[in-house]
């Protein structure tokens, strides 16, 4: 738990400065064909500072989070920024000022489960898979929990705290047909610690059945014929393509670097049926899997409507590309 008050280091800020602390706490359990092949818990933490001067950035970090180490990190980042500024002489304008203040803690309020109880959860799932899906030749279940805790303070006065947990269950099923293996994996879970994400293993049983039936269908399918075809894409695939093909090409720094999207702002780039939004933290009345309320620069996160009714409306910016 990060309890240190970063504001007390403000006296060491001589330029625009972002001071961050972060701690990642991980639990990972791996079960293969009923045997526990992995059972680990780890924690990593550190502090970093980023300093801006006339268009040049200085950065420094340290795994030591004592007051003395944090002061040294701030001074090192400042020295790096001043050194680069003296060499690059970019003379860019000051960054836009943002001073968002926010605190979001998605920790569970329920009693915490032990790793033994989590293993018992996996055992129940594994037993169900054995009994209900006899054609499987192998099975793997992986439980991964990440608690990502961040604290931010900037020279603009922005203050942010977040504890964003994410619990994921990977289930891999494999069958053999004509001596050829067919594999299918699914990912279950999302935002929240284990206690909030997975109440009882029985809740997942219908989804496991769907996964198994999908795998059977995959094993009985035919290979696609080469050539040009009209196809209907599943929403999951369309989302991945939108993220990769459009999302990354409309990031401000990539646009400035020559992205093809840079020449089409305000123009029609898709069907009138297409609207593409980069949601900050809430979509369609529900919390996003990894919600962002304040970014790492201290800016309040807002939805970015990239494409509206087929027209490219805007790019996604950080402070520097927004200049």
What's the rounded Cα separation, in Å, for the pair 21 and 48? Answer: 7
The span from the CA of 100 to the CA of 122, in Å, is 41
pTM of the model: 0.90
Question: For residue 288, what pLDDT is reported?
Answer: 95
* Residue 187 confidence (pLDDT) above 90: yes
Q: What proportion of the chain, given as a percentage, has pLDDT over 70?
A: 100
CA dist., res. 26 & res. 24, Å (int): 6
Mean pLDDT taken over the chain? 96
pLDDT at 162: 98
Confidence of residue 293 (pLDDT cuts 50, 70, 90): very high
Q: What average pLDDT does the segment 287-308 reach?
A: 96
Tens digit of pLDDT for each residue in 23-42?
A: 999 999 999 999 999 999 99
Give the per-residue pLDDT at 95.
Answer: 95
Q: What is the pLDDT of residue 322?
A: 87
Q: How many helices (H) and strands (E) does the chain have?
A: 6, 12
Position 236 scores a pLDDT of 81
Calculate mean pLDDT across residues 216-235. 90
Supply the pLDDT for residue 239: 85
* Residues 5-27 pLDDT 10s: 999 999 999 999 999 999 999 99
Q: Within 13 Å and on the Cβ side, how many CA atoms surround 89?
A: 1
What are phi and psi for residue 203, nearest 5 degrees? Answer: -65, -30
CA-nearest of 128, 134, 184, 191 to 162 is: 191
The 10s digit of each residue's pLDDT in 89-143 is: 998 999 999 999 999 999 999 999 999 999 999 999 999 999 999 999 999 999 9
Task: Indicate whether 189 pLDDT > 90.
Answer: yes
Domains with residue ranges and CATH for the chain: 6-219 (3.30.2290.10), 235-312 (no CATH)
pLDDT of 199: 87
**Cα(190)–Cα(287) distance, rounded to whole angstroms?**
10
pLDDT at site 181: 96
Q: Which residues of 73-103 are buried (b: 16+ CB within 10 A; e: fewer)?
A: bbebbbebbbebbeeeeeeeeebeebebebe
Q: Is 77 left (phi over 0), alpha (psi -120 to 50) or beta?
A: alpha
Give the mean pLDDT of 287-309: 96
How many CB atoms within 10 Å of residue 127? Answer: 12
> What are the tens digits of pLDDT across the range 206-224?
999 999 999 999 999 988 8
* Confidence category of residue 235, pLDDT binned at 50, 70, 90: confident
Burial class for 315, CB neighbours closer than 10 Å (0-12, 13-18, 19+): buried
pLDDT at residue 176, rounded to an integer: 95
Residue 183 pLDDT > 90? yes
Rounded to an integer, what distance in angstroms lies between the CA atom of residue 283 and that of residue 300?
16
Which of the four pLDDT bands, split at 50, 70 and 90, describes residue 323?
A: confident
Say how far residue 181 (Cα) sits from the centre of its chain. 32
pLDDT band at 157 (very low <50, low <70, confident <90, very high): very high
Residue 237: its pLDDT value, please? Answer: 87
**pLDDT band with cut points at 50, 70 and 90 for residue 231:** confident
The Cα–Cα gap between 143 and 117 comes to: 12
pLDDT at 232 over 90: no
pLDDT for 200: 92
């Amino acid at each position: 738990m990060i309890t240190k008050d970063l504001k007390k280091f403000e006296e060491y800020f001589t330029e625009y400065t972002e001071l961050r602390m972060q701690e990642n706490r991980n639990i990972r359990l791996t079960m293969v064909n009923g045997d526990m092949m992995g059972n680990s818990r780890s924690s990593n933490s550190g502090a970093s500072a980023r300093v801006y001067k006339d268009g040049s950035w200085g950065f420094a970090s340290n795994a030591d989070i004592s007051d003395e180490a944090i002061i040294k990190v701030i001074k090192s980042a400042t020295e790096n920024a001043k050194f680069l500024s003296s060499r690059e002489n970019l003379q860019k304008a000051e960054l836009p000022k943002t001073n968002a203040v926010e605190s979001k803690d998605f920790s569970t309020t329920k009693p915490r489960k032990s790793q033994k109880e989590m293993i018992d959860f996996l055992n129940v799932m594994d037993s169900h898979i054995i009994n209900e899906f006899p054609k499987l030749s192998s099975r793997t279940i992986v439980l991964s929990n990440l608690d990502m805790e961040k604290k931010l303070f900037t020279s603009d006065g922005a203050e942010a705290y977040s504890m964003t947990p994410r619990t994921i269950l990977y289930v891999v099923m494999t069958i053999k047909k004509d001596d050829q293996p067919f594999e299918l994996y699914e990912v279950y879970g999302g935002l929240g610690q284990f206690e909030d994400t997975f109440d009882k293993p029985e809740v997942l049983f219908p989804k496991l059945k769907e996964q198994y039936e999908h795998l059977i269908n995959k094993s009985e399918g035919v290979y696609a014929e080469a050539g040009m075809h009209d196809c209907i894409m599943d929403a999951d695939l369309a989302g991945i393509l939108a993220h990769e093909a459009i999302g990354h090409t409309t990031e401000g720094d990539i646009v400035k670097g020559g992205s093809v999207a840079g020449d089409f702002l305000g123009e029609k780039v898709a069907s009138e049926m297409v609207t593409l939004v980069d949601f900050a933290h809430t979509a369609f009345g529900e919390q996003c899997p990894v919600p962002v309320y304040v970014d790492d620069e201290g800016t309040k996160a807002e939805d970015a409507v990239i494409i509206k009714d087929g027209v490219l409306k805007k790019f996604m910016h950080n402070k520097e590309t927004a200049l």
